[in-house]
Structure 1
């Protein structure tokens, strides 16, 4: 072999080596998230083993995980829609909520076997999914629970869930309140089975994950929203409220407890209204038709120019009666992938449900002003922030709450004293003692 041929051979080998290395390179963000959770899970309790397997390969993440997180933060626009063959385009001449909608037989969704058996009272279909099941389930609510907070999250959002558990859903505080917090996930999807291992480990450690057997994909968000209504109806119907939030929203849980338990406050009566649907409504929202928009909707999917008034999914408060009504309507409705519009817009309008405007809210500018000391924590009081709140802002808000200690004392009223301790939360929460890094 002459020198020229030898040089060409060496160059080809080097190029193949470079291509191979690039194809197996780990995405740095997800890697850091998985390693952080691996450290937590490796040292956790409640059945978690002491050694943690390596995170899923990058190839599995690319194949199996489309963005299916919060309704305001997803980036995937063409997810694996497991029931697409059985979906019918919306025909608003016949009505999206037609009672005569027939669900054609659909192939079983690709998913793992349920980790916990579905409760016997649970129906086995979710909209047009005839064989819906929970991959991971949790026990029903205890009688003490007055408000169930259901957090819409995505499979890879480990860090967001960790921050929530370290701040407004801090376990040692939440367990002494009439609140319960659960994270809602879909399935990991074909080709990403290793992610299921991490979800199950997280669930074993924290006991706060409910997972359905539909792909956790952006255009499957309606399934997740209806699953929230379903789980509340079948497992927590005695509660006074269902609160649905995205995983990049901060809830002022001490203020929520105060409104729930202090009958002298006007907000107490508001939160106990039997017909409550509380949010910051969006009105006269034009339907996006451009191909550049991730919210693009075709005329076959929705023929009108504007959506009806609806609640953006970042923070919504439902009374039990409204949950049951919308869940029943959703089970008969044609599938539409913009979940906020379908459930709190189209179905709300069809069922005669009225939206109450939420005023206890901080936008991004107000959050940063508060964190920087420009305003007081309770002037005015707030229940939710806007979506997209940063981890450092969540931590700062919670630290301000702990230091002020003005609402961290559990209720002392006669009705609440039988169920809750009156001790204050520690001023220095120790999340690491519960296996959270």
Structure 2
């Protein structure tokens, strides 16, 4: 992905990497990028759920088990789970260059490898995306209540596909309303 975007999309400002079970509120995403993100954060950005000091799973029964030989530390570097991430293009280019560095040892958990290990030397690039996200439980409430709840960009992972149609219909009637000021307050107080 990093190679493709670096080679063929180098004029883009951002890369959105998203899993197929995440709902994207496109009007709100467009509003957020144009009016809030672009004036403030066109560089040095990995925006996702930020995991700090996450423990390495050593239990033998976990599918995410990592042996000490694979990863010696008991905690991962700050990283982002990959179900929805916004990257600024300078970061995409940096991560791609780092991935080509033969001194960097490949690690099989791609989220940790790309947004953690490859990005480890970068300072203050990981920004929390939580305030832009709605859970499946919240979606059900949104469909029953007022427009004040339509200010989200992403669903959480494993979005209930049965909610897709009703949610699209609901959002079609709403106007974009998110402000980066809320995120800036959130980031400053973390």
Task: Flag whether TM exceeds 0.5 (same fold).
Answer: yes
| Correspondence 1:362 to 2:131 | no
Match of 1:397? 167
Distance 1:324 1:282 in 2: 22
Which of the residues 22, 27, 34 maps onto 1:249? 22
Mapping 1:194-233, distance limit 5 Å: 228-233=1-6
1:310 aligns with 2:79: yes
2:57 pairs, out of 273, 277, 288, with 288
What residue is the counterpart of 1:342 in the other structure? 113
Conservation of the 8 A alpha-carbon contact between 1:322 and 1:353: no
| Corresponding residue SS for 1:318 | strand
Counterpart-to-counterpart distance in 2, 1:308 and 1:368 = 35
C-alpha spacing 1:405/1:383, structure 2 compared with 1 (3 Å): closer
- SS of the aligned residue for 2:118 comes to helix
Alignment of 1:138-287 (within 5 A): 228-262=1-35, 266-270=36-40, 272-287=41-56
SS in 2 for 1:349: coil
Equivalent residue, structure 1, for 2:68: 299
1:375 Cα shift? 4.7
Name which one, 1 or 2, has greater alpha-carbon Rg.
Answer: 1
Checking the alignment, whether the CA contact within 8 Å between 2:50 and 2:79 is kept in structure 1 is yes
Structure 1: segments with no counterpart, 5+ residues: 1-227, 408-437
The alignment covers a number of residue pairs equal to 173
SS at match of 1:348: coil
Query: Does structure 2 conserve the Cα–Cα contact (< 8 Å) formed by 1:282 and 1:309?
Result: yes
Alpha-carbon distance in structure 1 between the residues aligned to 2:166 and 2:150: 18
Q: TM-score, normalised by structure 1?
A: 0.38
Q: CA deviation at 1:317?
A: 0.4
Report 1 or 2 for greater relative contact order, CA contacts < 8 Å, sequence distance ≥ 6.
2
CA distance in 1, matches of 2:141, 2:83: 21
- Once the two structures are superposed, residues 314-370 of structure 1 have per-residue CA deviations (whole angstroms, 9 ceiling, x without a partner) of 111000000000111012232211011111111111344621111211123222222
1:305 positional shift: 0.8
Structure 2 unmatched runs, 5+ = 177-190
Task: Quote how far apart the aligned CAs of 1:395 are.
Answer: 2.2
Residue-by-residue CA offset, 1:14-73 (whole Å, 9 max, x unaligned): xxxxxxxxxxxxxxxxxxxxxxxxxxxxxxxxxxxxxxxxxxxxxxxxxxxxxxxxxxxx
Matches of 1:368 and 1:293 in 2, distance apart? 32
8 Å CA contact retained: 1:285, 1:306: yes
- Aligned CA RMSD, in angstroms, stands at 1.9
- SS at 2:17 equivalent: strand
Distance across 2 between alignment mates of 1:248 and 1:362: 13
